[in-house]
Structures are given as structure tokens and as C-alpha cells.
Amino acid sequence: MEDIKNIIESLLFVADGPLSVERIKLVLETDTGEIRDALQALSQEYENRSGGFVLRRIADGYQICTRPEYSRWIARLIRPSSFHLSMAALETLVIIAYKQPVMRSDIEHIRGVECGGILRMLLDRKIIRVLGRREIPGRPLIYATTKQFLEIFDLKNLKDLPTPKEIEELKPDPIPDPGPVPTDSSEIKPDMA
């Protein structure tokens, strides 16, 4: 196929999310190697040009994205609605991401509180999905993250989630203890400045 790189670029441009090599293969009816070569050439072309776009691998697919250094101007133009999650929603999402597939009762056991409303909100936003039902009495639903979760957090796949050690390293150092605080005003020396 003579224009495979340009065809793939067109497909990536109109797609509403990342396109996998398999999805592109179904559309083009060509071999995987040729698609990967075209994606590599397209990525290299964007890098060499240093224009406004890059080709990124996200959620086991490829997507044309704007360069991060231009986000300030893009935000002025489109004023995207901010994506906020409460601390409770983030805690629930972390449990699902690391423990999936996971039942609601397991999430509630770990968090120590009811989380039905949070699960509904995460489902409505398509950040999590119902994976199925556990084959135990009551057949409870089991939850997992979605491709949108990967896109929101800019992950190629779940293996890119930080490890517990990496998370621990992100914590700020504790504030050092300044020592004993004077209790009696005679111990306080006036500032001679």
C-alpha cells in the first residue's frame, strides 16, 4: 500500500481515542509489521518537525496528541472542563486499579465505608466498568478500570501504575522537629535585630 503512513495519520486524526495496531489492521487489511513501520515513521516525522503534535502510545493504542509545552494556549482556546475527583473517589479508584477485578464488599472493607455512590459516579464517567459477576452466593458485581482510566492518567497499560515503593518515594520528607518549645516567658530571649 503506497500511502499507508498518510492513511494511518488520517485514521488517527479522526479517531475519538487511541487506535490499536489490531484495529488499524482491520481497517487497512495489511500486515502488522507494515503498520508498525508506518507508525514509527510517522512518530519520527513528528519529532523531526518539532511541530504542535506528537504520536503517543496510550492504552495499548496510538493517538495524535498536542505537545505538552503548548497546553497553556490550548487551554485558553478550549477551556476544558476540569476533571476533579474527590479524595473518596480517588481512594476507591486506586483500590480498583490495584486489586482488579474487585467486588464492592472488598472495596468497602479496605476503605471502611460504603461506596455505592462513588462506584456509580465512576461508572457514569466511564472510568470503571462492571467486569462481570463473582460465582459466589449473591453473585456480586466485580469492577475493573477502563481504557478511559488509562487515557486520563496517561498510562499505556496497568503495568505502568506506580509500585508501592515508587509511591513511598514520592512522599515528602517529614518536617524536622524544632526541639523543645519554651514554656516560660523568661526562657524567651528578645530579638536583638
Query: Which CATH number covers residue 12?
Result: 1.10.10.10
Residue with cell 503512513: 5
Whether residues 56 and 35 share a domain: the answer is: yes
pLDDT for the residue 22: 92
From residue 56, alpha-carbon distances to 100, 154, 157 in Å are: 26, 10, 13
- Whole-angstrom distance, CA of residue 147 vs CA of residue 167: 22
- Whole-angstrom distance, CA of residue 16 vs CA of residue 151: 12
Whether residues 101 and 62 share a domain: the answer is: no
- Domain of 113? 87-170
Whether residues 70 and 98 share a domain: the answer is: no
Q: Looking at the domain assignment, is residue 36 inside a domain? A: yes
Whether residues 93 and 136 share a domain: the answer is: yes
Sign of the Cα torsion 150, 154, 158, 161 reads negative
Whether residues 69 and 92 share a domain: the answer is: no
Coil, strand or helix at 65: strand
* Nearest to 93, CA basis, from 109, 115, 112, 114: 115
Residue with cell 522537629: 177
> Which of 15-24, 74-83, 177-186 holds the top average pLDDT?
15-24
pLDDT for the residue 181: 57
How large is the average pLDDT for residues 98-113? 93
Instruction: Report whether pLDDT(35) > 90.
Output: yes
- Whole-angstrom distance, CA of residue 114 vs CA of residue 88: 10
Q: Looking at the domain assignment, is residue 179 inside a domain? A: no
Whether residues 92 and 56 share a domain: the answer is: no
Q: Looking at the domain assignment, is residue 96 inside a domain? A: yes
Last residue of a domain, one of 28, 58, 77: 77
pLDDT for the residue 174: 66
- The mean pLDDT of the chain is 85
pLDDT tens by residue, 147-182 = 889 888 888 888 888 887 887 777 766 666 666 655
| Structure confidence at residue 79 as a pLDDT band (50, 70, 90) | low
- Whole-angstrom distance, CA of residue 5 vs CA of residue 41: 8
Alpha helix ranges (H) inside the chain:
4-14, 21-28, 32-49, 71-78, 87-99, 104-111, 116-124, 147-152, 164-170
Q: Looking at the domain assignment, is residue 178 inside a domain? A: no
pLDDT for the residue 178: 63
Whether residues 37 and 111 share a domain: the answer is: no
Coil, strand or helix at 7: helix
pTM over 0.85: no
From residue 189, alpha-carbon distances to 19, 180, 186 in Å are: 69, 15, 7
Q: Which range (7-11, 24-28, 129-133, 153-157) has the least confidence?
A: 153-157
pLDDT tens by residue, 49-70 = 988 999 999 888 999 998 889 8
Whether residues 122 and 100 share a domain: the answer is: yes
Domain count, the chain: 2
Top-confidence residue, 153 or 93: 93
